[in-house]
Amino acid sequence: MSGNSFGRMFRITTFGESHGQAVGVVVDGVPAGLELSEKDVQVELDRRRPGTSRIVTPRAEPDKVEILSGVFQGKTLGTPIAMVVKNVAFEDEPYEVIKDLPRPGHADITYLLKYGHVDYRGGGRASGRETVSRVAAGAIAKKLLKSVGIRVLAHTIEVAGIGVDLDKISLDAVQKADENLIRCADQSAAKKMVEAIKKAQEEGDSVGGVVEVIVMGVPEGLGETVFDKLDADIAKALMSIGAVKGVEIGAGFGMARMRGSEAVDQFTVDPKTKKIMTLTNNAGGILGGISTGMPIIARIAVKPTSSISKPLTTVNLKTMKEATIRVKGKHDPCICPRIVPVIEAMLALVLADHMLRAGKVDSSRFK
């Protein structure tokens, strides 16, 4: 029973191997009448695409999206929106070599054990290239959320042990995080992070980091009881991204070290809206799995890239003897900046789904 679909009412099904014909996604459940064009999607795919910088992989991936269905005269039809991004022709890469040498830290070995027959070229289905589908679908989710006043923003907050002071980061700064290579809202920390990445790269190594995502404008009442809690669905969404090894909501692991009197967000009345709000937001906008109306905040732990040029010990599957492997090719020494648009996409998908589940998208507005 495969696992290539996500969401209940805003539901996506992705497909594609890294070096196959194409990657893509079918998005089902988008209400009819939403304005949508390929441009809306392309702008997010362009954010995901590696740039020319040294710290992100310089492979040429034009990633031109094509919408095959579900949109007519510039508006969605309420029918499935299929999007395809063709894979460009890859030069003669020496993938045959690694066929019998599973790369440590990669899914080569587990896919082989599970499926028997695998597309070993560039990681196949397990490649980070599958995030093209997430980002394309997320772009539609973002468009839908924008129409109801919800914004999703992510930024790198830690790389190679270099962190930022979250208390000093304004929402404005987060919005400008895209301006530096590492997508960090603190321009001075960003420089140090880039230095650390370069250093690791020069040493044939890689580094990890932490990325934060913030959702503004979330209405109260999103999320369901017990299992399909908003934070539970966010946790799944984020942990499903390759390289993510941890997820926390609000104060997260920090909350394990607080006392109750310190951790609890006490209530007050918002002077403007006259609604209940909390004085702090350790809960990250979610109580009992249901949104409070405060900003939703989540963070992920991103492991260092496993593709490094330092030699690693693997096992030759033919001889079942240890062997040494050096992963060649140009790889990102730190994938935090590239994960930023992906984590935004995943949050947007979860929020769009729960907005529909809660009946909070009045689709008649689009008619």
* Cross-strand pairs, 314: 323
Output the smallest distance, CB 59 to its own copies, in A: 19
Give the C-alpha separation, 362 to 107, whole Å: 42
Are 148 and 361 in contact by the 8 Å Cβ rule? The answer is yes
Output the smallest distance, CB 153 to its own copies, in A: 20
Q: Which is nearer to its own copies, 189 or 238 (CB)?
A: 238
Output the smallest distance, CB 39 to its own copies, in A: 16
Give the C-alpha separation, 214 to 98, whole Å: 39
Closest C-alpha among 224, 156, 223 to residue 191:
156
Residue ranges with strand state E in 135-186: 151-159, 162-163
Give the C-alpha separation, 196 to 189, whole Å: 11
Are 300 and 210 in contact by the 8 Å Cβ rule? The answer is yes
Q: Tokens 């992906």 appear where?
A: 342
Output the smallest distance, CB 174 to its own copies, in A: 19
Output the smallest distance, CB 175 to its own copies, in A: 24
Reading the block at residue 54, the tokens are 């040294």
Q: Which is nearer to its own copies, 92 or 172 (CB)?
A: 92
Q: Which is nearer to its own copies, 170 or 319 (CB)?
A: 319
Output the smallest distance, CB 202 to its own copies, in A: 12
Output the smallest distance, CB 322 to its own copies, in A: 6
Identify the DSSP state of 189.
Answer: H
Q: Which is nearer to its own copies, 174 or 358 (CB)?
A: 358
Give the C-alpha separation, 95 to 207, whole Å: 25
SS3 assignment for 318-359: CCCEEEEECCCCCCCCCCHHHHHHHHHHHHHHHHHHHHHHCC
Output the smallest distance, CB 214 to its own copies, in A: 16
Are 93 and 122 in contact by the 8 Å Cβ rule? The answer is yes
Single-letter amino acid code for the residue at 239: M
Q: Which is nearer to its own copies, 149 or 176 (CB)?
A: 149
Beta strand 286-287 pairing with 290-291: antiparallel
Are 170 and 198 in contact by the 8 Å Cβ rule? The answer is no
Give the C-alpha separation, 128 to 339, whole Å: 10
Radius of gyration of the chain (CA): 21
Give the C-alpha separation, 83 to 50, whole Å: 20
Output the smallest distance, CB 235 to its own copies, in A: 4
Q: Which is nearer to its own copies, 64 or 176 (CB)?
A: 64
Q: Which is nearer to its own copies, 169 or 234 (CB)?
A: 234
Output the smallest distance, CB 172 to its own copies, in A: 26
Q: Which is nearer to its own copies, 96 or 175 (CB)?
A: 96
Q: Which is nearer to its own copies, 2 or 170 (CB)?
A: 2
Q: Which is nearer to its own copies, 110 or 187 (CB)?
A: 110
